[in-house]
Amino acid sequence: MQHRVIVLGAGYTGASAAGRLAKRLRREDVAITLVNAEPDFVERVRNHQLATGQDLRPRPLREIFAGTGVELRLAKVTGVDADRKTIAITGADGAEELEYDTLVYALGSGWDSQGVLGTAEHAYQIASRTGALRLRERLAGLDAGQAVVVVGGGLTGVEASTEIAEARPDLNVALAVSGGLGEWVSPKGREHVRKVFGKLGITAYEHTAISGVEADHVTTADGKVIPAAVTVWAAGFAVHPIAKATSLEVSGTGQIVVDRTMRSVSHPDVYAVGDAAMAMGAGDKPLRMSCASGIPTAWLAADAIAARLTGRKVPNKTIGYSNQCISLGRKEGLIQYVTADDRARQAVLTGRLAAVYKELICKSAAWSVANPTLGMPTRQHRVAHEQTPRHETV
């Protein structure tokens, strides 16, 4: 009998996990189902480009997984019962329940309003394709001289503010950060970010916490009013809430607590990858929510599942970082080299060369998703049913 693997979510992590499993396991032995609400793969790391009017290449999931043996189900996940090993979905045919033997949970994260008054009503976000398209339409309707305020000093906020300022030099673009501008990179990195902000005419409101968002302005914690025809909220991510509603052990952030192989510590037939997982990396530090963390966790989970199903040795690897790639518009970039546990080194790469490097990273990530079984091994491993019967957890 086929072992049923269900992968929830077809972002970078879910799509990568499904493709890698198809590479390593025989379709006669394993049925892989990939559940996703949208028909296309979304390059989330390019949403700031989409928001500023750039057209991105469509990547239909049915084309990506054609001939791989992965079954695509276009549906919204509405619930997970980790004890009964079932998934509740709603698709074109209405509500349905799917059973699994092994689950890969890759529902990821969305924007985090952090409970700030007015964000839900008035702020725009680029954590999703829908949000980026909504912002795109709004930016296109702005007149010259109007103000755009981006809130959040992490990668998303810096990339969004520089992309908007470069695409629309006629707008007054500002970035509000609760700490210092680029404080998470090295001194050389911060210097370059400030240089680019100066060239693009972006105002940086440093050590400025935003306490409220209105249709035409934001209010700071100390009562200052900053004009904003558009407010872009980029102050962090929040994980999908479904996991927290299950019996799975989750962290305070709602992420599923996993071991070194991305396996749930409470339910061994569940694996969590990407932003959905509370996973430890080098130095026993939690992996940050990012594509840089997500794809390696997907590979690790897929390899562990394949190894356990086929009775082979489970890989023992630790995920570490080498750099952070930051686009600063289309012509500038910053590559911040980091330690394995994600602390900034002194070395950086800047300018046009850094922009090209970042573009290559984005293209390679999308290529790996769009070619899930390229280089299919000539010999796949048979599931060891005598070692892992269907009724056992894996």
Residues 310 and 163 in one domain: no
Q: Pick the last residue of a domain from 319, 335, 351.
A: 319
pLDDT of residue 381: 63
Residues 26 and 97 in one domain: yes
| Digit-coded pLDDT (tens) for 308-340 | 999 999 998 999 999 999 999 999 999 999 999
Separation of alpha carbons 323 and 318, rounded Å: 16
Residue 343: inside a domain? no
pLDDT of residue 371: 83
Return the closest-CA partner of residue 83 out of 262, 264, 252: 264
Residue 45: inside a domain? yes
Residue 329: inside a domain? no
pLDDT-derived band at 387, boundaries 50, 70, 90: very low
Residue 390: inside a domain? no
Q: Pick the last residue of a domain from 233, 252, 287.
A: 233
Q: Pick the last residue of a domain from 177, 206, 233.
A: 233
Residue 149, beta-bridge partner list: 174, 231
Region for 152 from its dihedrals, namely left if φ exceeds 0, alpha if ψ lies in -120 to 50, beta otherwise: left
Looking at the structure of the chain, the number of domains it has is 2
Residues 17 and 71 in one domain: yes
Is the pLDDT at 376 greater than 80? The verdict is no
Residues 149 and 207 in one domain: yes
**Mean pLDDT value of segment 122-135:** 96
Q: Is 61 exposed, middle or buried (0-12, 13-18, 19+ CB in 10 A)?
A: buried
Residues 104 and 248 in one domain: yes
Residue 10: inside a domain? yes
Is the pLDDT at 380 greater than 70? The verdict is no
Residues 248 and 290 in one domain: yes
Separation of alpha carbons 153 and 210, rounded Å: 12
Residues 36 and 184 in one domain: no
Return the closest-CA partner of residue 71 out of 2, 1, 22: 22
pLDDT of residue 386: 42
| Digit-coded pLDDT (tens) for 193-239 | 999 999 999 999 999 999 999 999 999 999 999 999 999 999 988 99
pLDDT of residue 13: 96
| Digit-coded pLDDT (tens) for 140-154 | 999 999 999 999 999
Is the pLDDT at 273 greater than 70? The verdict is yes
CA distances from 135 to 47, 124, 138, 240, 299 (A): 10, 6, 5, 22, 33
| Digit-coded pLDDT (tens) for 18-55 | 999 999 999 999 999 999 999 999 999 999 999 999 99
Residue 383: inside a domain? no
Separation of alpha carbons 355 and 343, rounded Å: 21
**Helix/strand/coil (H, E, C) string of the chain?**
CCEEEEEECCCHHHHHHHHHHHHHECCCCEEEEEEECCCECCCHHHHHHHHCCCCCCCCEHHHHCCCCCEEEEEEEEEEEECCCCEEEEEECCEEEEEECCEEEECCCEEECCCCCECHHHHCECCCCHHHHHHHHHHHHCCCCCCEEEEECCCHHHHHHHHHHHHHCCCCEEEEECCCCCCCCCCHHHHHHHHHHHHHHCCEEECCCCEEEECCCEEEECCCCEEECCEEEECCCEEECCCHHHCCCCECCCCCEEECCCCEECCCCCEEECHHHEECECHHHCECCCCHHHHHHHHHHHHHHHHHHHHCCCCCCCCCCCCEEEEECCCCCEEEEEECCCCCEEEEEEEHHHHHHHHHHHHHHHHHHHHCCCCCCCCCCECCCCCCCCCCCCC
Percent of the chain beyond pLDDT 90? 87
Residue 256, beta-bridge partner list: 250, 277
Residue 357: inside a domain? no
> Which two structure tokens, joined as six digits, stand for 280?
């430890």
Residues 212 and 119 in one domain: yes
The residue to which tokens 């050590």 are assigned: 207
| Cβ neighbour number for residue 85 with a 10 Å cutoff | 19
| Cβ neighbour number for residue 122 with a 10 Å cutoff | 18
Residues 262 and 302 in one domain: yes
Residues 118 and 221 in one domain: yes
Residue 335: inside a domain? no
Residues 266 and 169 in one domain: no
Q: What CATH number does the domain containing 213 carry?
A: 3.50.50.60
pLDDT of residue 384: 60
Residues 165 and 133 in one domain: yes
Residue 324, beta-bridge partner list: 336
**Sign (positive or negative) of CA dihedral 220, 223, 224, 227:** positive
Give the domain extent around 61: 3-108+240-319
